[in-house]
Amino acid sequence: AQSVTQLGSHVSVSEGALVLLRCNYSSSVPPYLFWYVQYPNQGLQLLLKYTSAATLVKGINGFEAEFKKSETSFHLTKPSAHMSDAAEYFCAVSDRGGKLIFGQGTELSVKP
């Protein structure tokens, strides 16, 4: 069975600081991994995805994530936080059959 654990339900950073959102996964097959962002009362938007090509994946809005098989991790980073990055972020894993298993989400706050 697949599962996703996001460490920290709330993360707060100052504007301009590094953003690090943690995600660990469990999968019995080589996984596809995703990060989505959600703004209040809206749907989810794909930030980036890993599908067994390069282990360092670059996404939109300056975000990137690194797939580390030995650590079963797929942490999301951004070098410099912007106020507009405040949102909820979801890590998800797919067994390549299309269904996504989501983590519980991490709410990112950005302080001026």
Partner 1 sequence: DGGITQSPKYLFRKEGQNVTLSCEQNLNHDAMYWYRQDPGQGLRLIYYSQIVNDFQKGDIAEGYSVSREKKESFPLTVTSAQKNPTAFYLCATDGRQGLSTEAFFGQGTRLTVV
The interface with partner 1 within residues 37-76 (CB under 8 A) comprises 41-46, 49, 51
Range in contact with partner 1 (rule: CB under 8 A) among 19-27, 69-77, 79-87, 94-102: 94-102
Please state, in angstroms and rounded to a whole number, the distance separating the CA atoms of residues 87 and 55.
25
Instruction: Give Cα separations from 35 to 9, 111, 112 (angstroms).
Output: 15, 22, 25
Q: Whose Cβ is closer to partner 1: residue 51's or residue 77's?
A: 51
| Burial grade of 65 (CB within 10 A; 0-12, 13-18, 19 or more) | buried
Contact between 112 and partner 1 per CB under 8 A = no
Whether the CB-CB separation of 65 and 77 falls below 8 Å is answered with: yes
Site residue total, partner 1 (CB under 8 A): 22
Judged by the rule CB under 8 A, the positions of this chain that interact with partner 1 are 9, 32, 34, 36, 41-46, 49, 51, 90, 94, 96, 98-100, 102-105
